Structure 1
Amino acid sequence: MKNEIHPETPDSSERPRNTLDKVIFTFGNTISLLFLFTVAISFYEVLMRYVFNAPTMWVHETASFLGGMLFIYGGIYALSINKHVRVVLIYDLVSDTTRRWLNVFHHIMGLLFSGLLSWAAYQMVQDSWFTPLGDLRLETSGSAWDPVFPALVKGMVFATLCIMFVQFSLHLIQELNGLRKRKDV
């Protein structure tokens, strides 16, 4: 339910809930400008390729990399402002107390999900950042330009999942505190 007095103002469930969420939200709004940069370099590529017959070697991989990184960040951004996917058909029909318990269940499942995926992402990072002997060697794309974007994307997936685990932990604590305060009233 949106704020009736100021419809453009999000209700309290759509705002960052803690300091970590505020940092994620603010940083996300700032880096969203990279979408404009991606459009600009893609336009540059089209211009160079079709007008000057001089295609670039770096634009496609850079645009894909930036888009992928922003998409990955979108997960923790959505969680920071409570805009993640949920079954609203059920969620909107139940009482506030039941919603809180559904939130607790969601946060516990989110902890399990992000914890297990963090472990899998860690294994991915190990394989893409280090040789079997343990020397640092970042995986590259294998193209003519050969940037280290695949290794960086895998590192971003790992870092984001770790942050998401912390977010779910903080949200679970906040939700349980809210349930406890309701019982005290």
Structure 2
Amino acid sequence: MTFVRKLPRMIDRLSAASGAVGKWFAVLLVLIGTFETISRHFFNAPTIWAYDSMCMAGGAIYLLGASYTYMKDSHTRVDLLYSRCSDRTKALIDVIGAAVFLFPLMIIMFEMSVTWAIRAWRINEVMFNSFWYPPAAPYRTLFAIGLFLLLLQAAAKFARDLYFLVRNETLD
């Protein structure tokens, strides 16, 4: 099997692993939310750390799940017309859409997220939504990793779609 065929499968496995890690943040989000609700309403003892923790856990779910969602073609799409198209037309729409919209946006977002992550590590940035002030660098780094994984998965889908358009056969 050639490298051209192996690489998208390797990226798929990476996206699947990212999704598997991301789902544990959903468990963490529920546990923290439950703890905060019980503490606040039954013991009149709210925490200072729950809000930031839930925001970061929710962001981790979103960021680590993005590449998995894209791999499974489960992202939101207005598909009134798309769903009625042939496979070749869908591939053409996806290639054009990725080249014109997805890649430029993801590249800009990835570059910005890396810059923010490096800055956060350099200045020891903290989150300031609450009085807990957790470090921002790990979350900002996770943000950059999530965008990188989404970019990789988009490249894999782009390669598959382009291969299908050119060869009229699937890459897998």
TM-score range, shorter chain: 0.7 to 0.9
Match in the other structure for 1:70 = 61
Structure 1 letter corresponding to 2:148? C
Match in the other structure for 2:3 = none
Match in the other structure for 2:36 = 45
Match in the other structure for 2:131 = 144
In the alignment, structure 1 residue 122 sits paired with structure 2 residue 114? yes
In the alignment, structure 1 residue 178 sits paired with structure 2 residue 164? yes
Matched ranges for 1:145-160 at <5 A: 145-148=132-135, 150-160=136-146
TM-score by length of 1: 0.74
Identity of aligned residues (%): 22
- The alpha-carbon distance between structure 1 residues 30 and 168, as it changes in their structure 2 partners (threshold 3 A), is closer
In the alignment, structure 1 residue 21 sits paired with structure 2 residue 12? yes
Q: What is the RMSD of the two structures over their aligned residues, measured on CA atoms?
A: 2.2
- Conserved in 1, the CA contact under 8 Å of 2:28 and 2:57? no
- The alpha-carbon distance between structure 1 residues 145 and 164, as it changes in their structure 2 partners (threshold 3 A), is same
Higher normalized contact order (CA 8 Å, seq sep 6+, divided by chain length): 2
Residues matched between the structures, number: 160
Structure 1 segments, 4+ long, off by >6 Å, are none
Give CA deviations for 1:139-182 in whole Å, capped at 9, x if unaligned.
1124432211x332222222222222222222222212122222
Deviation at 1:26, TM superposition (A): 4.1
TM-score by length of 2: 0.79
Give the gaps of 5 or more residues in structure 2: 1-7
Give CA deviations for 1:82-104 in whole Å, capped at 9, x if unaligned.
11233311212322221121121
Give the gaps of 5 or more residues in structure 1: 1-16, 132-136
Structure 1 letter corresponding to 2:104? L
- Conserved in 1, the CA contact under 8 Å of 2:94 and 2:161? yes
